[in-house]
Chain A
Amino acid sequence: MFGIQLAGNLLQGLVLGAVYGMATMGLSLIFGVLKVVNVGHGAFMMVGAFVALWVFNGLGLSPIWAIPAAFVLGMALGFIFFHTSMKRLIKAPELASLLATFALGILLEETVKLIYGADFHGYNWIVGKVSMGITVMPMSKIYAFVGSILIALILYFWFTKTRGGTALTCVVEDSEGARVCGINVGRAYALSFSLGIGLTVASGVLLTMFIPVGISPYMGGVYTLKAFVIAVLGGLGSPYGAFFGGLIFGLLENGSYSLFALIPGLEPFAMTRFFSFLILLLILLIKPTGLLGTK
């Protein structure tokens, strides 16, 4: 019984972890290139969740169609926000960009609230389930998992095999060196901010495919905190690190429940967070730059 439950929870954790990882890649990318900590991260995910809601409830389409729509919307938002605010703050003290992204987050929350109200929304996309013996997995979660992996792979190939991606990698490693080599660093900043926000908004859609309820203008706060933890775990500035960090976080969060449930008198769910943060601390003690982070 214990083994079945543990295996089931690990499988569910792996699927959730892939979505968490994908949701953190945008945060890590923006930090890696611009050295800007996007504290409005969760609000951008919230926008993606509402795109999924609109596509499903408003247009009557599968939320899968919301992924490209959210990505394009996110890129556009990123482009606008970069040129109206972030561009001027790149060389400013860190607190200025921190406050600016915080303000952008509030702006998005209140704008969405004006349109949708403060209600908690959800959508009921039923596409079947797969009984795996150890657990039951809804197909919507499997689609979210596959979608996250595909996006991470596309991003990987774009970064390593294309001119634009390689240019961004150069800016992450040494922006001054990249400028000397003829790379348009200003354009790289704009592209990475837009791409980061695009990924974040798209991840909001994937998140609702895993959890299609609780969609509200203020849903992002929880995910901002988780994304920071995952980004640090994977190595701030490394989008792939963030993805693997997400996988590890999902496995720890869900998998450790079964272990703590064996100890009488403990509330196992509360202990999963303690355990996840303990492992984070240990990893940082051993490798202060995170799993895939570099100095």
Chain B
Amino acid sequence: MKKNMVMAILGFTALFGLVFATGAFGASKIVIGNPECLSGGFAKAGEQAVGGIKACVKWVNETYGGVKVGGKKTPLEYKLYDCESKKEAVTSLIERLITVDKVDFLFAPYSSPLTLAGAPVAEKYKKLFMDHGGASDRIFQQGFKYVVQTIGPGTSYHLGTLDMIRKIDPKANKLALVYKDAEFSRDVMRGAEKHAQTVGYSIVFKRTYPEGAADLTPILSDLKGHNPDIVLGGGHEPDGMLLARQMADLDINAKAISIIVSVTLPSFYEGLKNIADGILGPSHWEYGVTYSEAGAKKLGLPWIGPGQDEFVKLFKEAVGKDLTPEYHSAEAGAAVLALVKGIEMADSLDNDKVRAALGKLHFMSFYGGWDVDDTGLQVGHSMVDMQWQGGKRIIVWPPEAATGKPCYPLPTFSQKAKGTLCIPK
């Protein structure tokens, strides 16, 4: 009996020793936890983000060979929960990911409000919170230390659009801003307004509409009376489509119309057909951008990750269908690559050390440049402007990334209804 007791104690000691030794020599895997929107209002963007993350995790594990930390290549593991696009679910799932699943790093869910909701919990546990889809500048004005952004800040969305129109048509002067009254779109409008004043536009109309507005006719009737040259606006997917549709219904024509978020999605054209033609949309990434390893080398930046076509292939495998990746997937995938670079620079899984490394990191991937300031705000990534032209997505700005010329001015909605396409002359 006594001999058995001694043997059992020795056995347990050996087992604990083995477990301890494994921890000391490095983890067998690096776990990324992510409460993502698989259902609810942001399910579409969430599906894209998950596809992008899975694509890049697969690339890191299978092509890159794992993350080099402690002299050893360690694979990534992706732990995912559906946050149902709800703030309360985000906060409780982050708690669960940290305390129950013991993940090493956290990815924020899509959207600014959900990123803002989850950030305090990540801060409480001192966990790195990789923000791939929260563009609001306000996230980085709260004093958070562990939030690191990959998507560009909301205030930068329309800078390129305004520069482009100024270059094409210096006489276009009357600018209208019609945005959803929400965290992210308010930031976009603030950035557009500031830049418009710098470049010399005159703002003839500036109004917001509330979240969940089913009919924008009143605000658009008001807009019509101001006869703008350029209309910038939107918020997220459904209201962006509604804005374009009801502008067409009310015959509100402008030389250029740019709508955030929704325009970049294929569903925008599928739902609106000829109404969508010629409408511009700022985008963080579009298929056809020319970022490459050779380009990174010229700029003296390190490169990591799959090439554009390889990313598209991995994305389609990850989502299991012939879905086109959009910028929501590219920015989420790029956040994985940034984390890998950060871990390798820090040579540690310690979240504070990785956060410090990310502060010094500047690299390029298929998504473009990546660099953050002291607050974690993305400052190294440039946006592009895309435009629907005859049913095709064309990158029209900046010139170095463009895959075609901009179509300007837009045909009127009546002309488009009769079959006129927005094709540049």
Contacts and interface: CB of A to CB of B under 8 A. Distances in A.
Interface of A: 1, 5, 8-9, 12, 16, 109-110, 113, 117-124, 126, 129, 135-136, 138, 141, 210-219, 221-223, 226, 253-254, 257-258, 261, 267-270, 272-273
A213 B181 contact: no
A1 B237 CA distance: 32
B274 A269 contact: no
Nearest to B206: A267
Given A118-B44, A254-B218, A124 B39 contact: no
Of the listed residues A119, A216, A267, the one surrounded by the most CB atoms of chain B closer than 10 A to its CB is A119
B21 interface: no
Contacts of A221: 212
A120 B213 contact: no
A113 B85 CA distance: 15
Nearest to A138: B249
B181 A267 contact: yes
Contact of B237 (A110, A120, A212): A120
B41 interface: yes
B119 to A, nearest CB: 24
A129 B249 CA distance: 8
Contacts of B47: 117-118
B62 interface: no
B217 interface: yes
B345 to A, nearest CB: 36
Contact of B217 (A109, A218, A254): A254
B221 A120 contact: no
Contact of A218 (B40, B271, B273): B40
B382 to A, nearest CB: 27
Given A257-B218, A267-B181, A135 B213 contact: no
Contacts of B71: none
Contacts of B46: 118
Given A269-B218, A270-B210, A120 B44 contact: yes
Contacts of A136: 249-251
Given A122-B245, A212-B245, A218 B41 contact: yes
Nearest to A106: B39
A145 B275 CA distance: 23
Nearest to B208: A267
Contacts of B209: 269
A121 B207 contact: no
Interface string B247-285: 001110000000000100101001111110000000000
Contacts of B40: 218
